[in-house]
Structure 1
Amino acid sequence: MGEDTDLFGDEIDEFDSELFSVKGDIEVAISINASKSLEMYDQAVQYETNKRLHYIRFIEKHIDGGWTQKNIDPLLAQMASYDNNPKPKWRAIAAWYSKYRKSNFCITSLIPSHEKKGNRALKNTSGDFYFNKALEDKYLRKERPSVATAYRYYCDLIQFENSRLVSGTITPLSYTGFNARIKSLEPYDVDLARFGRSYVQKKYKLGDKFAEPTSVMERVEIDHTVLDYTVLMEDNQTVIGRPTITALVDCYSSCVVGFYVSFNEPSHLSIRAALVNTMLSKDELIDCFSNISADWPCHGKIELLVVDNGVEFWGDSLESACKELGINTSYNPVGKPWKKPKVERFFRTLNTKFLDSLPGKNFRSVEAKGDYQPDKEAALSFSLFNELLHKWIIEVYNQEADDRKTRVPIVKWYEGASVYPPIEYTGDAQELLRVKLGVLETRSITKDGIQFMHLRYDSPELLEYRKYTPVASKRGLKADIKIDPHDLSYIYVFLEEQERYLKVPAKDPDGYTTGLTLTQHKVNIKNRRKSVIDSQDLMSLAQSRLEIEQMVSQALANKLKQKGMKKLAKYQGIDSNSIHSTVPVKTSQALPIVKASTNDNDNDDIDTFDWNSDDIEAF
């Protein structure tokens, strides 16, 4: 018995691909399927062929993924049978489709091949039947059995069947022949059955192709990662921990166009800061670092922002801000980082070429780490690390050719910007950008102004707006406000009737809110819990802030464990926007008493603050 190397040689037999040559005056070799059309066959053959095409077209129209049992069986259950006849098995349909596709979708490939069926008295005794059964039962499984295991099962099936036959036997394939047929299977179908959908999507990059951008800032990828590096406080002795970077990479040039580093978990705060850094000019930022000589011209409006599917990217504020700014967003599916290749490449290069040789690097596994202790080896303060990171990105990463030597990012940027320069933010547009990227809240405008987290904001302009704006409901006059999470000394109130934002300062004559971050304010409030909050004393908050700073000093003196130091860094606002690693605190602040808001949105749950608790997180 000759070996049949067809992928699905089960109950669907094939015609001989060629007739024997006829020796004589004329020597010919005729392909049956190419020379004989379907209508030339009898009605029974036409009926069977059309039935096969009927099932193929239905499955082809509705299937999602490969032609596997998992995908075909549910569709078979949905569809009506052909002329009320029994439905075929899923593998038969997959076999028909395989031959149909290989023939460039020629219907004659579906014609039953009766010439090769042989003695039909031996029902289901063809070796092909047992090959396919071994294939399905033992090889195409998530457990990924070996070929040898599938072959043993195949031989056992044939041996058992031979013991039942009255006459004749089935000759099994040799192991070499069996293995050859395994190797002839379509790789996609095999990988899908043995490794799963995620594996084949990554291996074959299914649906990953996107139109190549034709200009800078047309497509920008954004993502977060925790750096494999431990940094110190400014005293170069106290360990803070591993910072998190939020980076944006332009897909046209491969330039890093902006980033933000802090000790906050990925959140709207870090995304906002990274976007501001990306879209605004960086000239003033570069001037802060005396050792950086190269330019960083990358800035401007983003056309399409490719973001991860993480929770921090789904906030109403981010969605609203992007819509206001005319930025389209594309959400990357979970578990498919290869769909953001530019930013993933940057993270890999950052770890392997920048952090790799720095004292304090972290290893991914205990085995790789050995006796190395990052906390003890760490030698760089955050401020120095921040400067080195800026220098490496600006003067090395953006200036160095890629691995294939096809482009230099900064050269590609200048080329693209010279043809289609991105829209720039200048003058009032810069402040408007910061406003629109703020945290969105809705608050009532009352005679006391606007209350936000026990802070009061008011101005003569806001009073005039309240006086002359009709109230649409019994709930009073409400307005959308934008909060800058890095500075609570003011808010922006959107005046809907006038279609503009009004900057309203905090009623804070003694400076409690100057430079106050949202994280710091939440911590201060949580540290001053009262059983019943009838009023909120800003002097009390100022006192709380001073007490916390005393705890900070004590923490530095006692060198609290790393978890606590990282929370301390969050509170102090240590990030890549800061030139130094610590934020000085004003200790002489006499603050007025402000009556607490009765707004439900202001009555946040307030817990006693502990440096080693998780309550410091603002988001």
Structure 2
Amino acid sequence: MTPSLKLRSGDHLVREGVRHKVLSRSKDGQINLLRVSDETLSSVPERTLLQEYGVGLLQIDRRQEVLSERALQILETDTGDLVEAARAKAEFRLPFVREMLRDRRRRWSNKALQELIDKVRQQENLPKAPSSRSLRRWAERAIALGFEELGDVRILVPRNHACGGTQPKFAAQVLTIMDSVIQDLVMLPEPVSGAEAYLEFKGRLNRKQQELSATLLSAAPTLLEPSKRTFYRKLKAISQETLAIAREGRLEADKKHSLVGLGPQGDHLLHEVEVDHTLADIIVVCPHTGVPIGRPTITIAVDRWSRMIVGIHIGLEAAGWRAVMLCLRNGILPKEHLLEVDPGDLRAKGHWPAMGLMKTLVLDNGPEFHCAALRNAALEFGITLQFCPAGQPRYKGKTERLFRRMNVEVFHTLAGTTFSNPAQRGSYDSKANAFLTVDQLRAIVHRWVTDVYCNTPHSFTKQAPNERWEEGLRLIGGVTLPSSAADVMLALAQVEYRRLTRKGIELYGLHYCEPRSVHLRELLNHPDAPKAVKVRIDPDNLGTVHVEDYREPGLYVPVACTDRGYAEGMTIAEHHMVAARARAQLKARQVATMGMLIEAKASLRADIGRVRNAGKLTATRLNTIFPDATGKVTDVGEDGKAIPQTGLPVSVAARRPTARPVPQVVQAPRRGEFGVSF
């Protein structure tokens, strides 16, 4: 069998990442190989090797045996990265060396070499030619590096850049001190400047020189001091990733310097849905007073496969589990009713087809995603919760990128925007320019999603989310919905436990009762009634709550608010704001009357003190004050007359012809002393 592949003994073959060494060729066309890792022998047909080579599973590496380590380093340099002058010199040497090595066994004299040089110069039409001595040196170097086997022109590249001394210029002690200064002062979260680090290095080097001089006396070596420029080159040679690891830690360094891959995309429509929330870069105002009330929270659910926004919630509540549940409810249910409640002048004109149960929810490690309500709802709908590693938002890159796009395309174009940072905001007064309410902002975002985002081709899928969604529906045969919308509302509603009394249920300062409800009356008067019943609340509407029938778990009784005109359509966040405003107004009224109350209470305490002190007069003093009284005086009445011990009226003997005035007890200036004024 005629061989079709030129393989020599010693060549290396890399088959699917495993290195083998060619030993010999059999007469039947088998190639005998030795696996380098464990020296296992094997025989492979040449045809098999050719097939593997054609599909990219086989690589022939002849450099391992014929090249030295120095030659391997030379060949690692890409030809395109060579300096133009170096490449030109290599191309100039190539024809002379190649002509000389055609007959390697010949012993070339200087005269014969000169004739060869003149011949090549005329053939190549070169303006100059090398000397015979240079040609001998080039040829010897090419033979040593395996040029005859590979014929790679890079072997003939001059190595001028590698010239120089091989010994370090500075002593090992100097380099050690330099490394210690960099580690102690530069590789810190609060690094010092390069100038300060160099001064510290000089100080440590001088102390080390003095220590050597004191220890070794005249035999102490002189430590050569590097220049400031050398020290700066040392600092510049430190990679940014190494600095980030030392100053910020491995996690932050990976965020900034690690390679970014494609990331998970999902296998099909609604296979994986990312959920996250953030503060919107805009300030909204109160719909009743027009006063700025802060930045709303936006929660988004994005399908990885289609890039469709399947659910969104914008509200004034904090980034908690309520917002997550409302976003999921919005994502599962159809969007027609959601878009119909928006203001007519801002209402979306396009179609938002996203709906249905998702297979997996991709969440971060926030406490709102680990709550029992979300776990119970996921179990009820058969949804798997997948939590990303803590502190690594890149695992939810779809939502993070969408937040940035929404800020730039929507919020930063509206009055009252806060922009991304204070530097970008500048002197713009966000609160003074704010005029949008939460409902208006929600309508604007809905319109942007349906009319703009859903119809814009994505940079990765090359399809608009609406087109991708329709394609995904054809592949999976349609979306899955729960039994009814009421089941979704109840499963994703807020759960509270309250006492059921004759007044119904009190919740957030509101009362819920249905006096004519026979079912509610039976729950109240049942002999096995629990102390508290489960109540499910719609965070977007406090007009009605649902009380669970503890006799049949899963069965709920709707109970309306007694003040339905206030609670209907009122969200929990809005109700809390109204209650907070009412408390603030009450506090203001209390502050207005606080001075009067303080004065009245001080006067009352003073009067009580006088009565108490008067009542503490001893009988001896009272009898001294009322010497004409018969019997022992124990107290003074409201009319100022003495009261005897028997409680009878006091008879006054007519010792003097004139009536004595009624004495008055007054408090003396000194504490504890009393005087009598007539």
- Structure-1-length-normalised TM-score: 0.54
1:281 shift after superposition: 0.8
Which residue does the alignment assign to 1:139?
Answer: 186
**Superposed displacement of residue 432, structure 1:** 0.8
Distance 2:298 2:396 in 1: 16
Would the aligned equivalents of 1:442 and 1:478 in 2 still touch at CA under 8 Å? yes
Cα distance between partner residues in 2 of 1:510 and 1:159:
85
Q: How does 1:169-318 map to 2 (within 5 A)?
A: 169-171=222-224, 182=235, 188-204=241-257, 211-231=264-284, 242-287=295-340, 292-310=348-366, 312-318=368-374
- Indicate the SS of the match to 1:321: helix
Spell out, residue by residue over 1:506-561, the C-alpha distance to the aligned partner (whole angstroms, 9 max, x if none): 4859877544554566678x6xxxxxxxxxxxxxxxxxxxxxxxxxxxxxxxxxxx
Q: C-alpha deviations, 1:566-591, integer Å up to 9, x for none?
A: x77xxxxxxxxxxxxxxxxxxxxxxx
Report the counterpart of residue 132 of structure 2 in structure 1.
none
Counterpart residue type for residue 384 of structure 2? N
Amino acid at match of 1:357: T
Larger mean Cα displacement after TM superposition, 310-319 or 247-256: 310-319
- C-alpha contact (below 8 Å) 1:230/1:242 kept by paired residues: yes
| Distance of 2:340 and 2:226 partners within structure 1 | 76
> CA offsets, 1:63-121, max 9 Å, x none?
xxxxxxxxxxxxxxxxxxxxxxxxxxxxxxxxxxxxxxxxxxxxxxxxxxxxxxx9xxx
Q: Secondary structure at the match of 1:440?
A: strand
Q: Find the counterpart in structure 1 of residue 538 from structure 2.
A: 484
d(CA) in 2 for partners of 1:520, 1:181: 60
- In the alignment, the residues of structure 2 paired with residue 433 and residue 207 of structure 1 have an alpha-carbon distance, to the nearest angstrom, of 38
Deviation readout 1:407-438 (Å, 9 max, x if unpaired): 53333333334323675325x43211110111
Query: Does residue 501 in structure 1 map to residue 555 in structure 2?
Result: yes
User: Any conservation in 1 of the 2:310–2:331 contact (CA below 8 Å)?
Assistant: yes
8 Å CA contact 2:270–2:359 kept in 1: the answer is yes
Give per-residue Cα distances to partners, 1:304-347, cap 9 Å, x unaligned: 33445555545443443334333333456675544432222222
1:436 aligns with one of 476, 491, 494 = 491
For residue 492 of structure 1, give the secondary structure of its aligned residue in structure 2. Answer: strand
Cα separation, partners in 2 of 1:188 and 1:395, compared to 1, 3 Å: same
**CA distance, structure 2, for counterparts of residue 183 and residue 496 of structure 1:** 72
> CA deviation digits over 1:259-292, x for unaligned, max 9?
1223333344433322211111113334566763
CA contact 1:130–1:154 (8 Å) conserved in 2: yes
- Structure 2: any 5+ residue segments left out of the alignment? 1-64, 71-166, 589-678
Query: 1:448-467 counterparts in 2 under 5 A?
Result: 452=507, 454-456=511-513, 459-461=517-519
Aligned equivalents of 2:503 and 2:481: distance in 1? 35
Q: Distance in 2 between matches of 1:280 and 1:352?
A: 28
In the alignment, the residues of structure 1 paired with residue 285 and residue 583 of structure 2 have an alpha-carbon distance, to the nearest angstrom, of 27
Partner of 2:47: none
Deviation at 1:465, TM superposition (A): 6.9
Query: C-alpha distance in 2, partners of 1:384/1:448?
Result: 37
The structure number with the bigger radius of gyration is 2
Distance across 2 between alignment mates of 1:215 and 1:256: 15
Helix, strand or coil at the partner of 1:483: strand
**Matching of residues 427-576 of structure 1 within 5 Å:** 428-443=483-498, 452=507, 454-456=511-513, 459-461=517-519, 471=528, 476=530, 479-495=533-549, 498-506=552-560, 508=562, 514-515=568-569, 517-518=571-572
In 2, Cα distance between equivalents of 1:181 and 1:398: 52
The verdict on how the C-alpha distance between 1:409 and 1:504 changes in structure 2, with shifts beyond 3 A counting, is closer
User: 1:487 touches 1:513 (CA, 8 Å); kept in 2?
Assistant: yes
Which structure has more relative contact order (CA 8 Å, sep 6+)? It is: 1
Identity between Structure 1 and Structure 2 (%)? 25
Cα distance change on mapping 1:522 and 1:455 into 2, 3 Å: farther
Structure 1 residues 612 and 374 mapped into 2: Cα distance closer, same or farther (>3 Å)? Answer: farther
Summarize the Cα distance change of 1:364–1:185 in structure 2 as closer, same or farther, 3 Å threshold: closer
RMSD after superposition: 4.5
Deviation at 1:391?
A: 1.6
For 2:320 and 2:353, the matched residues in 1 are separated by: 27
1:161 aligns with 2:208: yes
Mark the CA change 1:359 to 1:324 in structure 2 (over 3 Å): closer, same or farther: same
Q: CA deviation at 1:483?
A: 2.0
Cα distance change of structure 1 residues 185 and 262 upon mapping to structure 2, 3 Å threshold: closer
C-alpha separation between the residues in 1 aligned to 2:497 and 2:290? Answer: 44
> Distance in 2 between the 1:173 and 1:340 partners?
49
Q: 1:359 to 1:142 in 2, by over 3 A?
A: closer
